[in-house]
Amino acid sequence: MKRRVVITGMGVLSPVGNTVDEMWEALLAGKNGIDKITQFDASNMKVQIAGEVKNFEPEKYLDPKEFRKMDRTLIFGLVAATQAYQDSGLENVEFNKNRFGTFVTSGIGGINTIKEEAIKAYERGGDRVSPFFIPHSIINMVGGVIAIKFGAKGPNLPVVTACSAGTNAIGEAFRYIRDGYIDVAFAGGSEAPINELSIGGFASMRALNTNNDPDNASIPFDKNRSGFVVAEGCGVVVLEEYEHAKKRGAKIYCEVIGYGSTCDAFHITAPDESAEGITNAIKLALQDAKIEPEKIDYINPHGTSTPYNDRLETLGIKKALGDHAYNVNISATKSMTGHALGAVGAIEAIITAKTLQEGIITPTINLRTPDEECDLNYTVGSPVKRDVKYALSNSVGFGGQNATLVFKKFEEGK
C-alpha cells in the first residue's frame, strides 16, 4: 500500500528573503529581488544583473567552523537544511536515522570553487590546488555535508537534472518515502552560480536577458521577454511519512501526492516545439496523484522569461489540462526571484506549499505586454485570494528535462 507523504519543515535562501516567512511576504508584496551584481565587477560584461542572496549571515545558523573555506553552494545547503530541520521539530525527537534520506542537489555545484582553483592552477601550478577543491565542487557534497551534520544515514542521492534538479529531488524523495524505503528526507536544491564563468557561459549561449534593467529583465510570459536572469539560492524541505509525522504531533504544510518526469530527447538546450515532454510530465504527475486535471487550482510554472520556454510551457499546460487551463491561477515567481537553476524548483515547491497553506496566490510582476501565445491567467500585478486544494509546480532543464510535482492541501484523515 502506498504511504502518504507530507511536508513538515521548510528552509529557504532567496533573492527576496532569507527565511520562508521573509520570502513569502516579499512575494506577496511584489518585491523584485533582481539588481546589479555585487559579487564581482561585471561592468565590462554584457550581463550586469542577477538575483543575489542579500545580507547572508550563515553564522545565525552555523558555527563558523562548520563553513570555513566551504563553497557558497554548500553553505546555502547547510543553512536551508538547518532552517527546515528546526522548523520540522525533528531536532527534539528520537527517530531511526537509518531511514532518514538526503536528496539535496545542485545544477552546477561548486562553480565558485572551480573558478578559483582553476585560476590558481594556471597561475601558480597544479600543486597549489586546494585539497578541498574536489569535495567542495562535486554536486553530491551538498547533500553530503547536510547528511553529516544531521546524521542522516539513509540514501544520499543528488538528482542532477539541470534546472529541474530541485523538483526532481523532491519527487524522488517522495517516491522513496511513499514506497516504504525511508520515513524522513531532506529534499531540495542549492545554487551559487554568480561569477564571471557561469554568467559568461549563459550569456554566450544567448540564454540571458542583456538589457540590464532589473524591472524589465525577468518578465515571464511577456511578449518582450528575451532571456532569463541568473539567480542564486537554496530551498530545502523535510518530507515525512504521514503516520510518522502524526505520531509525533508535527505541523504539516501540505501533502505531496504526485510526480512526473520526462525527457524531450530532442536538443541539448532547446525544448521540443510540440511541448510533448512537459505535457506528459504533467499528465504523469496527475495520473500518479490519481486526480483529474479539473482539480488543479494553481500552477507555479517554470516561467523563465525565455521566448521558447514560456510559449511552450503554456502550450504544454493547455494540452495537459485542456480547457480547464484557463480556470487555473498561474504565478511566475521568477519575475521576482530570477532563475536559481538547480535550486529554483525547490524554492518554488516551498512557494507552492505556502500557497496551499495560506490560500493566497503570489503575483507575476512586470508582465506589461500580453503575448497572444501566452494567454492563460498569470495572476498579473497583485496577489489573489483563492482556496487552493490542488497545485502543480513545473520545472524544465537543459537536456530536455521536464518535472512536475502535485501538491494537495492537507486535510486530516483524507
pLDDT at 315: 98
Spatial CA neighbour of 282 closest among 261, 268, 303: 261
pLDDT at 68: 86
pLDDT at 414: 63
pLDDT at 411: 85
Q: Catalogue all structural domains in the chain, each as residue range(s) with its CATH number.
A: 1-414 (3.40.47.10)
Active site residue 324: no
Q: Which residues of the chain have pLDDT under 70?
A: 413-414
pLDDT at 114: 97
Selecting among 234, 254, 302, 374, the annotated active-site residue is 302
pLDDT at 405: 99
pLDDT at 413: 66
Selecting among 136, 163, 254, 374, the annotated active-site residue is 163
Burial of 323 (0-12, 13-18, 19+ CB in 10 A): exposed
Burial of 56 (0-12, 13-18, 19+ CB in 10 A): middle
pLDDT at 344: 98
The rounded percent of the chain whose pLDDT value lies above 90 is 97
The mean predicted confidence, pLDDT, of the chain is 97
Instruction: Measure CA of the first residue to CA of the last residue in the chain; give whole Å.
Output: 15
pLDDT tens digit string along 333-372? Answer: 999 999 999 999 999 999 999 999 999 999 999 999 999 9
Selecting among 136, 244, 339, 374, the annotated active-site residue is 339
